[in-house]
Structures are given as C-alpha cells and as structure tokens.
C-alpha cells in the first residue's frame, strides 16, 4: 500500500486525508502546532465558557461543497453539527441606516424599497443573473484548473448563455467592485453593501477582479444564507479527525516538518524537527506555497523553477479582536442585533482609502470591519445570556510605516497592537453606543499573532496569498505550480494558496485526493 504524508492539518489537508483514508490509503498528517485545524480553531481565549473561533468562522463553503457531499454521513457520525442562519449579514452606516439581507427575497425587496428604492430593480436583476449563472459558476470551484474538465465546463457555459453572455461573464471577472457597483446601483449604501465583500478577499474597490466576489457574496447571502459550526468552527475539524482515525489514518501534533526528503529527484518523505523521518510515496504540502523552497535541499530550492514560488504575494494583513460580552451590542441601526455578520465599511470611497493606505504601510483610521455575532444563531458558544463578538479588521499593512491619524507611534504590531485595537473598539462604539461597558474580557490577535499561530498566514495575511487576478484561477499560485502539483515528482500542494483559494471549503483537498486516488 502506498504511503501518503500530508504536511499541515488545515481544512484542505484534513479533507484530503479523510477522503484518502476512506478509500483505504495509508495516510499520515503532520501538524506543527499543538492542535489540528490550521486557521480553523475554537478556543476559550477570553473567559471560561466563551468559545471563540480564532480565525475562520463561516462554514458555508464546506457545507455546500464536494467534501461534505462525499463524507456527509461519516462527518455527522463523528459529531459534525451545523447551525444555519437565515439572517447572514447586514451593513450599517453612520447615520443609523442599515441594509440587512435575509433568506427571503420579498423581505429584502421590502428593505431595499424602504432604504434604497432606486436599487430595487437592479437587485432583482442581479438575483435573476445569479440564478442563471450559478449552475455554471459553482461547479468550476470544484474543478481542477487548468484541465479538460474545466474546458468542457466552459464549453457548456458558452452553449447555455451564448457568446455575448460568456463575454459579459468574463467582463465581470475582470471588473473592480467599484465599477460593478457603479454600473448596477445608484445609492451609496447599496454599493457599499456589495463592495464590502470584496474587502474580505483582498479586493479594494478599485482592484480588478473584485466584482465577482461582490456579486456572489451579496446576492448569495440572500439565496443560501450562512452556516456556522455548533459550539464553534472546530466541530468540523474534530469530525474530519474522527473520520481519518476511524479509517486507519495517523495524525500527529507538534510535528514540525523541516525538510522534504528527495531521492533521484523525487519526494520520498519528510523529516521533522525532532529528527524523525516519515517515508512516503507521495507528499502533500498543505502549506503556503511561498514556504515550500525552505523545506527543500538548497540546491533544489535555488532552481529558478522552484525559487520563483517565493514571489507568491500575500494579501494585506488582518487583525482579530475577540470579545466576551454581557449582552449583544445596542446598534443604532434597527435590527442589526439579529444578523450573524455586521459590516462597517461604511462607503466605497472609505474602503478605497483604507486599502490604499494599508498597502502603503499606514494604519487606516477607519478600516473595514466584519463583526461576527455567532451567539445570535448559536447560544451554546457562551454562558446563558452572554455573548461573544468576532471582529475581523480588514485591511492592514504588512509592514507598518506610520499612522494616517498621526496618533499611534511604533512600527511593530507587538508595540501598537492593543492601542490600535482600542481605535477599533471606539469606531464600533460610534455605531453601537455602550459597547465598551458590555465587554467582560477581550483578546487581540494582531497580524503578527496570526503568523505565530500559523506560519502559513504570512505577515498576518489570513487568505494564504492574495487573490488578485495574476495569481488566481489557473494562475494560482503561479505558472508551473498549478494543477496542485509542485514541479517536483511526487510532491503535491493544496491549501488556500492553490485553486480554488481561501475560505473554509476543502476544495483543493478534494482535488488532491482525486489525483492521488487514481
């Protein structure tokens, strides 16, 4: 029986391991940290009884993806439990306005008619457009790029929507969020509602490619809602680990891989920091591609075909702030307490400024905020009557060169992390007066902390690499490294640095498992 060693236990590594173990393959997963899951971790980091998803929290991609379809019964038997939300997100604005999107088209039309009446017809048209494109867009997320299957899918899409429709789709793939929202909406609030989703994936409003995510996520929230993990996102990790173990797989924590072993130009195993050797017929690196050369013999790492992967660029940084609360925030915007995500951006121009100054190394004054209220749907995450708040700050510098407000000094996150978090809390307070009085405890995870937890989150990039067009789709991570194969025999790659990119979906793990099952 062939031996497969998987470096890293992120969602894609575990997905690949579970699928392969289920098919009778000999699988060993080596994790450098003290817990499995990579960027999917749930811990009581503020107070006992308050369960916080440290990094990723939204499990919608996995719930609707191919790994879940293949392993549904096994995962449920091993404890996986989802909590669906029919009120996925809202955007709030400085004047007290808000737009909340629910899984009810008529309710959303009523909301839009009240708040942004000039955009009702465009919203209806985009809803219809997603319905027409979804059968063609979503399958490609589970298809290897490049591949014959992808070409066949593209041909089917052309047959279904015609040449003009295909060109219109390609045009949207290349549009910025600003161009897309300007084309479809007239109200600044609706433009911000959609454009904020681009900021989730390192797309400032003027970056080419952001339109797709603004379209899919804003309308997709209405159509599909949101899915959380019962008791925390790690319910998914525990279930995958359970599936691997019950099928004979081996998982080891505190096993940092320091070298990929080579014999006659082929990957033949790995060595860990404690000197142990794990032989393998196939090695799967579930790590940021830019880190792979450091795991190879120097002579091979310096080969131009290998060393060029170091040019795989990170996205901008992210800060996480976790709050244990006595009660949910009292938002000025009516109804905001009912939603799982509350977005504070607040407008497209502010997002553009945030992105530009962060890219230039400056601390933004009012960065975009994704505020998760998981206990709205899942009260098991906190003691009775209490709540947790999950705050993601988007986007932040990879290297700090100054502060746009001129108030914070210091050029490392260890120096200024808490002070900058104070700024964020003050920003939220202006939308939810009295928040500070409800805080029982808080934990700040700076971009530097993110990298300490997980070396794949380089400089606090929570996406495992920027999703800009030059390193997305069939170019991810870069030419010569696509198809989930490194340019080294028997070395495969998966993770958010490979197609289909970031998010808790397991898609690249599924693709690697398919390759190794042949």
| Average pLDDT of the segment spanning 221-225 | 97
The predicted structure's pLDDT at residue 469:
94
What's the burial of 429, exposed, middle or buried (CB within 10 Å: 0-12/13-18/19+)? Answer: middle
The pLDDT-based confidence of 153 (bands split at 50, 70, 90) is: confident
Predicted local confidence at residue 452, as pLDDT: 97
Q: State yes or no: pLDDT of 1 exceeds 80.
A: no
What's the CA gap between 333 and 335, in Å, rounded? 6
Amino acid 401: pLDDT = 97
Average the pLDDT over 244-254 and give the result.
98
Whole-number Å distance between alpha carbons of 297 and 271: 12
Whether residue 52 has pLDDT greater than 70: yes
What is the DSSP pairing of strand 387-396 with strand 317-325? antiparallel
Angstrom distance (rounded) from CA 78 to CA 57: 20
Q: What's the whole-number average pLDDT of the chain? A: 96
Predicted pLDDT of residue 148: 85
The per-residue pLDDT for range 93-136, each reduced to its tens digit, is: 999 999 999 999 999 999 999 999 999 999 999 999 999 998 88
Q: Quick one: pLDDT at residue 9? A: 98
Q: Token pair for residue 469?
A: 């067009």
Contact (Cβ atoms closer than 8 angstroms) between residue 495 and residue 508 = yes
CA distance 60 to 216: 13
Percent of the residues in the chain that have a pLDDT greater than 70, as a whole number: 100
Please indicate, yes or no, if residue 15 is contained in any of the structural domains. yes
Helix (H) or strand (E) holding 267: strand 266-272
Contacts of residue 191, Cβ cutoff 8 Å, sequence gap at least 6? 178, 181, 182, 185, 347, 348
Q: Which long-range contacts (CB under 8 A, 24 or more apart) does 128-133 make?
A: 129/215, 129/219, 130/215, 130/216, 130/219, 130/220, 130/223, 131/223, 132/161, 133/161, 133/169
**Assigned domain for 97 exists:** no
Asked if the model's pLDDT at residue 37 lies above 90, the reply is yes
Residue 102 counted as domain residue = no
Q: Could you give the angle at the alpha carbon of 395 between the alpha carbons of 390 and 400, nearest 5°?
A: 115
> pLDDT tens-digit profile of 266-286?
999 999 999 999 999 999 999
Rounded CA gap, 86 and 397, in Å? 34
What is the predicted pLDDT for the residue at 138? 82
pLDDT band per the 50, 70, 90 thresholds, residue 154: confident
- Whether 203 has a pLDDT exceeding 90, the answer reads yes
> Rounded to whole angstroms, how far apart are CA atoms 371 and 428?
9
Asked if the structure places residue 20 within a domain, the reply is: yes
Give the whole-angstrom CA distance, residue 161 versus residue 170.
12
299 within a domain of the structure (yes/no):
yes
What sign does the dihedral 255-271-447-511 (CA atoms) show?
Answer: negative
pLDDT digit string, tens, across residues 307-330: 999 999 999 999 999 999 999 999
Residue with tokens 């404890």: 79
Stretch 199-209: mean pLDDT: 96
CATH of residue 501's domain is 3.50.50.60
Residue pair 510/18 in contact (Cβ under 8 Å)? The answer is no
Nearby residues of 317 by Cβ (< 8 Å), 6 or more positions away: 358, 395, 396, 397, 398, 447, 450, 459, 460, 461
The pLDDT score that the predictor gives to residue 155 is 87
Q: Look at strands 341-344 and 368-372 and give their pairing.
A: antiparallel
Q: Is residue 399 part of a domain?
A: no
Segments forming the whole domain that contains residue 298: 3-83+232-312+465-516
The Cα diameter of the chain in Å comes to: 68
Residue 44 has a CB neighbour count (10 Å cut-off) of: 15
Domain count, the chain: 1
Q: Which residues pair with 442 in a beta bridge?
A: 323
Q: pLDDT band for 137, please (50, 70, 90 cuts).
A: confident
With contact defined as beta carbons under 8 Å apart, do 15 and 510 qualify?
yes
**Is residue 356, in this structure, part of any structural domain at all?**
no
Task: Indicate whether this model's pTM tops 0.85.
Answer: yes
101 beta partners: 89
Backbone angles phi, psi at 464, to 5 degrees: 70, 30
Residue 175 covered by a domain = no
Which residues does residue 277 pair with via DSSP β-bridges, in sequence order?
271
Among the listed residues 183, 57, 70, the one whose alpha carbon sits nearest the alpha carbon of residue 129: 183
């Amino acid at each position: 029986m062939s031996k497969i060693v998987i470096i890293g236990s992120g969602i894609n590594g575990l997905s690949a391991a579970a699928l392969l173990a289920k098919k009778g393959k000999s699988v060993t997963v080596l994790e450098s940290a003290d817990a499995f899951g990579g960027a999917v971790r749930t811990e009581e980091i503020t107070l006992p009884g308050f369960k916080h998803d440290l990094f990723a929290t939204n499990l919608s991609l996995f719930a609707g993806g191919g790994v879940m379809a293949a392993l549904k019964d096994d995962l449920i038997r091993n404890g996986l439990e989802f909590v669906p939300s029919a009120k996925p997100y809202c955007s709030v604005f400085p004047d007290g306005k808000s737009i909340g999107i629910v899984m009810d088209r008529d309710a959303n039309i009523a909301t839009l008619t009240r708040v942004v009446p000039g955009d009702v017809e465009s919203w209806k048209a985009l809803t219809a457009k997603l319905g027409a494109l979804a059968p063609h867009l979503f399958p490609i997320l589970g298809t290897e790029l490049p591949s014959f299957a992808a070409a066949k899918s593209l041909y089917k899409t052309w047959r279904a929507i015609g040449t003009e429709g295909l060109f219109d789709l390609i045009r949207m793939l290349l549009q910025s969020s600003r161009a897309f929202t300007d084309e479809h909406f007239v109200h600044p609030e609706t433009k911000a509602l959609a454009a904020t989703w681009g900021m989730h994936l390192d797309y400032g409003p003027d970056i080419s490619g952001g339109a797709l995510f603004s379209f899919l996520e804003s309308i997709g929230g209405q159509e599909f809602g949101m899915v959380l993990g019962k008791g925390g996102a790690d319910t998914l990790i525990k279930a995958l680990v359970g599936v691997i173990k019950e099928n004979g797989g081996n998982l080891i924590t505190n096993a940092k891989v320091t070298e990929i072993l080579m014999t006659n130009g082929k990957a033949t195993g790995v060595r860990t920091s404690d000197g142990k050797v794990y032989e393998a017929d196939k090695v799967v690196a579930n790590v940021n591609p830019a880190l792979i050369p450091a795991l190879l013999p120097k002579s091979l790492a310096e080969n131009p075909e290998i060393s060029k992967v170091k040019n795989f660029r990170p996205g901008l940084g992210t800060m996480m702030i976790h709050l244990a609360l006595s009660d949910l925030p009292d938002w000025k915007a009516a109804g905001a307490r009912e939603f799982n995500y509350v977005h504070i951006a607040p407008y497209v121009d502010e997002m553009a400024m945030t992105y530009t100054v962060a890219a230039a190394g400056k601390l933004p004054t009012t960065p975009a905020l994704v505020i998760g209220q998981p206990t709205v749907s899942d009260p098991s995450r906190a003691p009775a009557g209490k709540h947790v708040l999950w705050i993601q700050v988007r986007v932040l510098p990879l290297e700090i060169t100054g502060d746009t407000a001129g108030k914070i000094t210091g050029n490392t996150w260890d120096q200024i992390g808490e002070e900058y978090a104070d700024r964020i809390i003050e920003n939220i307070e202006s939308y939810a007066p009295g928040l500070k009085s409800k805080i029982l405890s808080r934990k700040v995870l700076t971009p530097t902390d993110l990298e300490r937890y997980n070396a794949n989150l380089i400089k606090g990039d929570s996406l495992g690499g920027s999703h800009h067009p030059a390193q997305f789709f069939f170019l991810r991570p870069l030419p010569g490294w696509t198809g989930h194969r490194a340019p080294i025999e028997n070395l495969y790659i998966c993770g958010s640095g490979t197609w289909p990119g970031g998010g808790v979906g397991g898609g690249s793990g599924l693709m690697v498992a398919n390759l190794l099952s042949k």
